[in-house]
Amino acid sequence: MMKQETLKRMKTVEGHVRGIQRMLEGDAYCIDVIRQIQAVQAALTKISVSVLDDHMQTCLTRSLDGEKRDQMLREITEVYEMASKV
């Protein structure tokens, strides 16, 4: 994903989070708040996957020597392991 597109998506998420804050301040129905939080989580996951894909398409392919590539693959694995613990 291009940097500008990623930043645009992050600003959208930021606006969405602010909307959730307003919902909480206004005592919105809890299930509606949870649905909005889930939507933000899904949007962040999509952004994360896109950033990772860009990393693999650029940084990883530029670093095709064995040791550096293996290090990058380990880093990717660690990121996903940490994400699954959340």
List, in order of start, the domains of the chain with CATH numbers: 3-85 (1.20.58.1000)
Q: Which residue has the higher pLDDT, 69 or 19?
A: 19
Q: Which residue has the higher pLDDT, 76 or 63?
A: 76
Tell me the mean pLDDT in the region 21-37.
Answer: 98
- Give the C-alpha separation, 58 to 10, whole Å: 21
Tell me the mean pLDDT in the region 22-41.
Answer: 97
- Give the C-alpha separation, 14 to 81, whole Å: 26
What is the pLDDT of the chain when averaged over all its residues? 86
Tokens coding 3: 């940097």
- Give the C-alpha separation, 15 to 76, whole Å: 29
Q: Which residue has the higher pLDDT, 53 or 15?
A: 15
Looking at the chain, the whole-number percentage of residues with pLDDT higher than 90 is: 48
